[in-house]
Homo-oligomer: A and B are copies of this chain.
């Protein structure tokens, strides 16, 4: 069943059917009505492959995320998908599970499907697949990579603003030995966060001790392991800031398993503010990053590059802000 079949049944040409489907107004209302009736009766759906082939554009954006089981991403996807549906775009999602090879594979698939742009929220970024995108004039919007170029925009996560609030909050609670559990070693995005921590500590007249800075992996087990190391120190931190909420949850679990309490013994601050943060015991103090705002920025950035895939990209930014809940309290005086 194609447009020619519809045309035949409605006694018109396929060109007219196309015009009706695409809502052109230069069709006589009676004719349009007749065509629409046939379409409904036959349950006809136009074939998007033909349209994409014709236009060279698919009205689809690719979305690459590292870990769909981190609640931050489903919450992001929900917002992103809503915007896409509203604007009549399709979303093509892929997960990397933190493997660079999966990023490459995903980008390959997206190039084959002729997506109109890629939103890359994973941090396992290699230059080769990115060059393939740029070379094929497919716009790319990255997260916190802090690099722009032709067809390449970036959304900076202003970790610093929230981090400053967090450190000031802890300082007010008399914390001096503040630890940090970062993300995976390697990706620059992890470095940005760690550097923000160190800089903020300094700005607030506190020392960021080397031994209190550990690496995690953005997941619960990473937080557990890192916290274990911190607990083994002769001189423990009284508060710990984590690179994301899952890491913070892992840290909290370890503390509690050791018979210690949050926040009585150690205060914990997360990052993201996943919905879950509010149902934990104690509820997590965290730096909020708005998923819907982030989704909106990504969409805006993609649209801006869609019409002109080789235009100079932009640097966007999104702020984070402290949400105080139960996982932070006065410093445990030793």
Contact = CB atoms under 8 A, between A and B. Distances in A.
A204 interface: no
Interface in A59-102: 68-69, 71, 73-75, 77-78, 81, 85, 90-95, 97
Q: Give the most central of A43, A49, A68: most B CB within 10 Å.
A: A49
A136 B47 CA distance: 12
A1 B56 CA distance: 11
A47 B105 contact: no
A294 to B, nearest CB: 15
A130 to B, nearest CB: 11
A113 interface: yes
Given A48-B112, A69-B275, A78-B95, 5 more contacts: A49-B50, A85-B105, A91-B93, A93-B93, A276-B276
A95 to B, nearest CB: 6
22 contacts: A1-B136, A43-B131, A43-B132, A45-B108, A45-B136, A47-B53, A47-B112, A48-B49, A48-B112, A49-B52, A49-B53, A49-B114, A50-B53, A53-B53, A69-B74, A69-B75, A81-B94, A85-B105, A90-B92, A249-B279, A253-B279, A281-B281
B136 A43 contact: yes
Nearest to A95: B81
A69 B78 contact: yes
Contact of A43 (B73, B114, B135): B135
B68 A69 contact: no
B78 A45 contact: no
A46 interface: yes
Contacts of A69: 71, 74-75, 78, 275
Nearest to A252: B279
A109 B90 contact: yes
A111 interface: yes
Contacts of A120: none
Q: Give the most central of A1, A97, A109: most B CB within 10 Å.
A: A109
Contacts of A97: 78
Given A92-B92, A276-B276, A111 B45 contact: yes
A18 interface: no
A37 to B, nearest CB: 16
A220 interface: yes
Interface string A274-291: 011001010000000000
A48 B105 CA distance: 15
Contacts of A77: 68, 95
A292 interface: no
A58 interface: yes
A55 to B, nearest CB: 9
A123 B81 CA distance: 20
Interface in A11-31: none
A71 B220 CA distance: 15
A232 B48 CA distance: 55
Nearest to A132: B43
Given A43-B135, A105-B85, A136-B43, A220 B50 contact: no
Contacts of A108: 45
